[in-house]
């Protein structure tokens, strides 16, 4: 499927995404059991979510609230009155024999996120978790399978896009934007490995220029955006190979195995279920009141796409940096707090420090959960700008601030990390020139890069407290 082959260019991939988001409500969708990933199996259950005879579901108002927020994030049209249906299928992970979901009148329809149109947003309940014992980890070949009902009944929002995506990379990029958006709203943990964000892709290809859709395959089990991208790429390649050999694409569901980077069939159309949908008689329609809508609206934070745009236009940050700060909203929040503490100082330098040094130090953690104060970061960056501390010394200071907190000035003082003053530095530079006659020779012979040896000597001597640019200037002054 290399893009250099002319045959490959003859096909255009058409990709739509279906996302299941577990909402981080306190309780389950239709009962008052607590949610808890990783709890002891079958401890978060009750007669309702175990499907005991006579029990009835009651819609979780907070889940509706979150779903309304999600619909608003995509600027969807929210149904005045949406209803639940029973989706009937018999499987051990479904204790009632049906899943309560939404069908022909979903909570919201017709929105957009970035360049991608959103087809619909609806609420439903998650199934229980089947654990297959055995080497495959899948039902085929499992020695035994057990059910953990803790997950059963977790509130889910299903988001379906229109088939607007055209490449694996674009699909992954959209997934990241969606994840950042949901995370920013605080409606879900959006953790793909734990399954609180699950992404399926509908993939078809068609000859470039065609407008009708080809037969699609549904890809499941891609539990990272990297795997999503690879899975879609593999599926496009598979379909192209079939079409180029004159074959036809079967509508089927495929399971992506990241270990082997291959796709295998889960179920084919012949086994397609007839879900016998009908309106759930145990529940009343969701009819959002003005108060519910106002509350959802009021709870909406600035979303990543808008924030990135603001960072770019108002703070003149480079696009990539703006995007990073907006998509990792905890970094963005820290950055904005630091910026405000600095009295709106050098936003670019601060953004640079936040997205590079700080992001590297905290990894996936929230910088606000470390000892570092946003104001301290702002002061440190300002001191670097004023050359009161060298960049490399400042990194060391940042380590201390993240681990122990405190004021940068105090840390610098305490550890002697302040920039060497010019008379001290001049002396050190002169000694370094005297100690490195070979390098001086080479520089004079036109080998400019030999200056590195002298700079290195100065840095060693000053333990990184000197500003690299200043050192270079002093050396050149002297060597001419």
Q: Shortest distance, CB of residue 66 to other proteins, whole angstroms?
A: 19
Residues found near other proteins in the complex (CB under 8 A): 47, 50-59, 86, 88, 90, 92, 95-98, 274, 276-278, 281-284
Nearer to other proteins by Cβ, of 66 and 103: the residue is 103
Nearer to other proteins by Cβ, of 59 and 388: the residue is 59
Q: Shortest distance, CB of residue 397 to other proteins, whole angstroms?
A: 57
Nearer to other proteins by Cβ, of 140 and 259: the residue is 140
End-to-end CA distance of the chain: 57
Distance CA 219, CA 195 (A): 15
Nearer to other proteins by Cβ, of 272 and 360: the residue is 272
Q: Shortest distance, CB of residue 344 to other proteins, whole angstroms?
A: 51
Contact 14, 163 (CB under 8 A): yes
Nearer to other proteins by Cβ, of 153 and 408: the residue is 153
Q: Quick one: DSSP state of residue 246?
A: T
Nearer to other proteins by Cβ, of 88 and 224: the residue is 88
Whose tokens are 């007669």? That residue is: 47
**Burial, 37: exposed, middle or buried (Cβ in 10 Å; 0-12, 13-18, 19+)?**
middle
Distance CA 291, CA 76 (A): 18
E strands, 114-230, are 116-125, 129-133, 144-148, 155-161, 197-207, 217-222
Distance CA 327, CA 177 (A): 7
Q: Shortest distance, CB of residue 92 to other proteins, whole angstroms?
A: 7
Q: Shortest distance, CB of residue 26 to other proteins, whole angstroms?
A: 16
Nearer to other proteins by Cβ, of 56 and 298: the residue is 56
Q: Shortest distance, CB of residue 54 to other proteins, whole angstroms?
A: 4
Cα 479 off chain centre by: 51
Nearer to other proteins by Cβ, of 98 and 227: the residue is 98
Angstrom distances, CA of residue 176 to CA of 172, 257, 362: 6, 21, 20
Q: Shortest distance, CB of residue 24 to other proteins, whole angstroms?
A: 23
Q: Shortest distance, CB of residue 126 to other proteins, whole angstroms?
A: 17
What contacts 28, CB < 8 A, 6 or more positions away? 34, 35, 49, 60, 125, 153, 154, 155
Nearer to other proteins by Cβ, of 99 and 196: the residue is 99
Which alpha helices (DSSP H) does 246-362 contain, by range? 290-298, 304-315, 319-327, 329-341, 347-353, 359-362
Q: Shortest distance, CB of residue 32 to other proteins, whole angstroms?
A: 10
**Three-class secondary structure of residue 86 per DSSP:** strand
With vertex at residue 170, the alpha carbon angle to CA 168 and CA 173, rounded to the nearest 5 degrees, is 110
| Other Cβ atoms within 10 Å of 262 Cβ, number | 13
Cα dihedral 83→88→92→96 (10° resolution): 60
């Amino acid at each position: 499927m290399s893009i250099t082959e002319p045959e490959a260019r003859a096909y255009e991939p058409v990709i739509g995404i279906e996302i299941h988001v577990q909402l981080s409500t306190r309780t389950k969708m239709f009962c008052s059991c607590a949610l808890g990933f990783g709890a002891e199996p079958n401890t978060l259950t009750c007669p309702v979510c175990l499907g005991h005879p006579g029990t009835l579901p009651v819609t979780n108002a907070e889940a509706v609230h979150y779903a309304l927020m999600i619909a608003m994030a995509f600027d969807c049209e929210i149904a005045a009155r949406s209803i639940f249906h029973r989706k009937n299928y018999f499987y051990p992970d479904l204790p009632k024999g049906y899943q309560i979901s939404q069908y022909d009148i979903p909570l919201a329809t017709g929105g957009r996120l970035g360049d991608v149109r959103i087809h619909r947003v609806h609420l439903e309940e998650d199934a229980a978790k089947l654990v297959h014992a055995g080497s495959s980890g899948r039902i085929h070949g499992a020695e035994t399978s057990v059910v953990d009902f803790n997950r059963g009944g977790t509130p889910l929002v299903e988001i379906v896009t229109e088939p607007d995506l055209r490449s694996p990379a674009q699909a992954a990029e959209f997934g990241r934007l969606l994840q950042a958006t949901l995370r920013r709203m605080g409606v879900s943990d959006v953790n793909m490995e734990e399954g609180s964000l699950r992404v399926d892709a509908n993939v078809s290809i068609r000859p470039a220029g065609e407008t009708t859709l080809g037969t699609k395959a549904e890809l499941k089990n891609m539990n990272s955006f990297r795997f999503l991208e690879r899975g879609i790429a593999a599926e496009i390649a598979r379909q192209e190979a079939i079409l180029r050999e004159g074959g036809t694409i079967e509508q089927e569901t495929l399971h992506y195995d990241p270990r082997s980077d291959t796709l295998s069939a889960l179920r084919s159309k012949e086994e397609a279920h007839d879900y016998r949908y009908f309106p759930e008689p145990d529940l009343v329609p969701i009819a959002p009141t003005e108060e519910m809508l106002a509350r959802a609206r009021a709870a909406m934070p600035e979303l990543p796409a808008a924030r990135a745009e603001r960072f770019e236009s108002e703070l003149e940050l480079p696009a990539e940096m703006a995007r990073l700060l907006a998509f990792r909203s905890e970094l963005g929040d820290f950055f904005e707090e630091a910026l405000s503490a600095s009295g709106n100082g050098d936003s670019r330098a601060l953004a640079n420090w936040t997205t590079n040094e700080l992001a590297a130090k905290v990894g996936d953690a929230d910088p606000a959960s470390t000892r570092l104060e946003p104001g301290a970061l702002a002061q440190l960056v300002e001191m670097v700008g004023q050359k009161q501390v060298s960049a490399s010394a400042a990194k060391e200071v940042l380590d201390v601030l993240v681990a122990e907190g405190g004021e940068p000035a105090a840390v610098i003082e305490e550890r002697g990390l302040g920039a060497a003053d010019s008379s001290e530095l001049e002396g050190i530079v002169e000694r370094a020139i005297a100690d490195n006659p070979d390098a001086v020779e080479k520089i004079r012979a036109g080998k400019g890069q030999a200056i590195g040896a002298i700079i290195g000597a100065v840095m060693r001597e000053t333990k990184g407290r000197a500003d690299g640019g200043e050192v270079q200037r002093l050396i050149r002054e002297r060597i001419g």
